[in-house]
């Protein structure tokens, strides 16, 4: 009978164990390469912010009104665990007043009190980029292309890019009004849940996946009918840029996204293998008013965040981006008490090799088993004979190195020649 431990992770929170944790780190490294190759610098910002920072996103979104982890700290400040990083980055921009355009990338954990399910967690990780201080449709294209390139670097093939524009704030306001009037005129046909959404945020009714709403949503007014000349030109330039870069996309007029700060371009990368409720691998858009809402001067902003957890699920489904090897290079087996293993592993590690060993002075057989499990290519064996002679037995462990007989191919090497011997063998 297995006993249930007294303490376990809270719902929607997970321990990421090796080797999966190595994959998480690699994910961020690949993203950093993509972002830094385009001139983006990393920002590390706190997990906690003044609650007000996130309230400025707008309280019409569930992320702000229902899902925030917030508390009053010992100094009486009302604090929140960050549910996303765009608002934090805008807060940092106002606080530090950096040179524009400010091109930054980030990675880290976000917290949202959501109903946990596959691909939806209460603590999840994002990588993202933001640019503040440049209102150029080419920048929207650059950003969308960087996300696209990143998915390609992971090996994902089934990612779809969905694109929309919400126009200028005035266009959006007129559209919201028209949408509200339209749904109100057809209230009887609308699902009870969408009627509640309509009260708070008519745009979000377009997100409804309920069959009862499908026909009404399909026939709803389209945002494109409300674009100003400038908004239409911006959107056309974004589409032309993506076409020029050979990035395929679908314009989806119903794409409004969950956060409320978007203007002009919005986009989402959707995974081909995930359940439709959780298929957004990442998304973003323009948020030209957010810096101002946080007390700064009017400043253009555009960026995206990509969900790490969900993207890795998509990688599993597509069989790409396997965990990198965390195996050591060599494993030291010492049957003389352990002091040799201590000295030898330290020497090897200083020389830049990945080296592990067994502990507790176990038998030769038990230590060789541990060496096998470690994934090391080579075992270095020190018994009393070797200790006396100042030598080490170098034994290849992988079948492909020595054929089927793992005993063969071993050599006895003087301790003084060990490093140069290993360098030769391992290359
Ligand atoms: P978001 O759409 O809320 O946008 O989140 C971006 C991505 O984070 C989602 O597409 C999804 O992959 C992942 N994600 C969100 N919630 C969860 C969850 N509960 N569990 C697992 N993954 C999740 C933003 O956060 C904006 N800040 C993006 C942005 C940046 N817009 C402009 N700049």
Task: Give, for all 427 residues of the chain, the pLDDT tens digit.
Answer: 678 999 999 999 999 999 999 999 999 999 999 999 999 999 999 999 999 999 999 877 889 989 999 999 999 999 999 999 999 999 999 999 999 999 999 999 999 999 999 999 999 999 999 999 999 999 999 999 999 999 999 999 999 999 999 999 999 999 999 999 999 999 999 999 999 999 988 998 998 889 999 999 999 999 999 999 999 999 999 999 999 999 999 999 989 888 889 999 999 999 988 887 789 999 999 999 999 999 999 999 999 999 999 999 999 999 999 999 989 999 999 999 999 999 999 999 999 999 999 999 999 999 999 999 999 999 999 999 999 999 999 999 987 655 444 456 899 999 999 999 999 988 8
Pocket of ligand 1 (CB under 6 A): 84, 86, 112, 114, 120-121, 124, 126, 128, 130, 258-259, 280-285, 287, 303-305, 307, 309-310
Report if residue 95 sits inside a domain: yes
If asked whether residues 146 and 279 sit together in one domain, one would say yes
CATH code assigned at 400: 3.40.50.800
> Which atom of ligand 1 is found nearest the CA of 259?
3
Phi, psi angle pair for 131, to nearest 5°:
-130, 125
If asked whether residues 334 and 308 sit together in one domain, one would say no
Rounded to the nearest angstrom, the distance between the alpha carbon of 282 and the centre of ligand 1 is 6
Q: Partners of 392 in the beta sheet?
A: 413
Rounded to the nearest angstrom, the distance between the alpha carbon of 258 and the centre of ligand 1 is 9
**What is residue 406's predicted lDDT score, i.e. its pLDDT?**
44
If asked whether residues 59 and 151 sit together in one domain, one would say yes
Rounded to the nearest angstrom, the distance between the alpha carbon of 84 and the centre of ligand 1 is 7
Smallest CA separation from ligand 1 atom 31, residue: 284
If asked whether residues 237 and 283 sit together in one domain, one would say yes
Q: Which of 262, 290, 318 is the last residue of a domain?
A: 318
> Which atom of ligand 1 is found nearest the CA of 268?
10
- Best residue among 262, 310, 311, 314 to mutate for probing ligand 1's pocket (most ligand atoms within 8 Å of CB) is 310
Rounded to the nearest angstrom, the distance between the alpha carbon of 312 and the centre of ligand 1 is 14
Smallest CA separation from ligand 1 atom 9, residue: 282
If asked whether residues 378 and 241 sit together in one domain, one would say no
CB atoms within 10 A of CB 16: 14
If asked whether residues 254 and 378 sit together in one domain, one would say no
**What is residue 407's predicted lDDT score, i.e. its pLDDT?**
52
**What is residue 191's predicted lDDT score, i.e. its pLDDT?**
95
Question: Can you give the pTM of this predicted structure?
Answer: 0.93
> Which atom of ligand 1 is found nearest the CA of 86?
27
**What is residue 201's predicted lDDT score, i.e. its pLDDT?**
87
Rounded to the nearest angstrom, the distance between the alpha carbon of 211 and the centre of ligand 1 is 25
Tell me, letter by letter, the H, E, C secondary structure of the chain. CCCCCCCCCCCCCCCCCCCHHHHHHHHHHHHHHHHHCCCCEECCCCCEEEHHHHHCCCCCCHHHHCCCCEEECCCCCEEEECCCCHHHHHHHHHHHCCCCCEEEEEEEEEECCCCCECCECCEEEEEEEEEECCCCHHHHHHHHHHHHHHHHHHCCCCEEEEEEECCCHHHHHHHHHHHHHHHHHCHHHCCHHHHHHHHHCHHHHCCCCCHHHHHHHHCCCCHHHHCCHHHHHHHHHHHHHHHHCCCCCEECCCCCCCCCCCEEEEEEEEECCCCHHHCEEEEEEECCCHHHHCCCCCCCEEEEEEEHHHHHHHHHHHCCCCCCCCCCCEEEEECCCCHHHHHHHHHHHHCCCCEEECCCCCCHHHHHHHHHHCCCCEEEEECHHHHHHCEEEEEECCHHHHCCCCCCCCEEEEHHHHHHHHHHHHC
Query: Residue 344 is part of which domain span?
Result: 330-426
**What is residue 405's predicted lDDT score, i.e. its pLDDT?**
46
Q: With contact defined as beta carbons under 8 Å apart, do 355 and 331 qualify?
A: yes
If asked whether residues 53 and 92 sit together in one domain, one would say yes
> Which atom of ligand 1 is found nearest the CA of 128?
30
Q: Which of 318, 352, 368 is the last residue of a domain?
A: 318
């Amino acid at each position: 009978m297995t006993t249930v431990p007294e303490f376990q992770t809270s719902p929607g929170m997970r321990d990421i164990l090796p080797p999966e944790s190595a994959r998480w780190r690699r994910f961020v490294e690949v993203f950093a390469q993509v972002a830094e190759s385009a001139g983006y610098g990393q920002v590390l910002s706190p997990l906690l912010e003044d609650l007000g920072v996130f309230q400025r996103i707008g309280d019409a979104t569930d992320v702000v009104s229902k899902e925030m982890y917030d508390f009053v700290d010992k100094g009486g400040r009302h604090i929140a665990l960050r549910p996303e990083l765009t608002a934090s980055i805008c807060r940092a921009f106002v606080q530090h007043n950096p040179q524009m355009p400010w091109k930054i990338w980030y990675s880290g954990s976000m917290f949202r009190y959501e109903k946990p399910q596959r691909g939806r967690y209460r603590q999840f990780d994002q990588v993202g980029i933001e640019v503040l201080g440049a209102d150029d449709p080419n920048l929207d294209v650059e950003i969308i292309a960087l996300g696209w390139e990143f998915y390609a670097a992971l090996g994902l093939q089934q990612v779809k890019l969905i694109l929309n524009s919400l126009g200028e704030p005035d266009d959006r306001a007129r559209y919201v009004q028209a949408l509200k009037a339209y749904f109100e005129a057809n209230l009887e046909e609308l699902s009870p849940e969408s009627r509640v959404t309509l009260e708070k945020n008519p745009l979000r009714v377009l997100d409804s996946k309920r069959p009862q709403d499908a026909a009404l949503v399909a026939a709803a007014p389209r945002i494109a009918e409300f674009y100003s000349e400038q908004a239409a030109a911006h959107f056309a330039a974004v589409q032309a840029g993506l076409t020029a870069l050979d990035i395929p996309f679908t314009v989806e007029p119903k794409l409004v996204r969950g956060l409320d700060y978007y203007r002009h371009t919005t986009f989402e990368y959707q995974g081909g293998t995930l359940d439709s409720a959780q298929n957004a691998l990442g998304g973003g858009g323009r948020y030209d008013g957010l810096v101002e809402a946080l007390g700064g001067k009017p400043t253009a902003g555009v960026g995206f965040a990509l969900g790490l957890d969900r993207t890795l699920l998509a990688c599993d489904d597509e069989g790409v981006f396997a965990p990198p090897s965390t195996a050591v290079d060599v494993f030291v087996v010492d049957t003389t008490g352990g002091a040799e293993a201590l000295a030898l592993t330290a020497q090897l590690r200083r020389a830049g090799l990945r080296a592990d060993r067994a502990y507790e002075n176990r038998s030769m057989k038990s230590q060789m088993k541990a060496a096998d499990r470690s994934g090391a290519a080579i075992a270095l064996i020190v018994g009393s004979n070797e200790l006396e002679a100042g030598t080490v037995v170098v034994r290849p462990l992988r079948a492909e190195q020595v054929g089927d007989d793992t005993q063969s191919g071993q050599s006895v090497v003087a301790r003084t020649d060990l490093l140069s011997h290993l360098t030769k063998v391992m290359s």
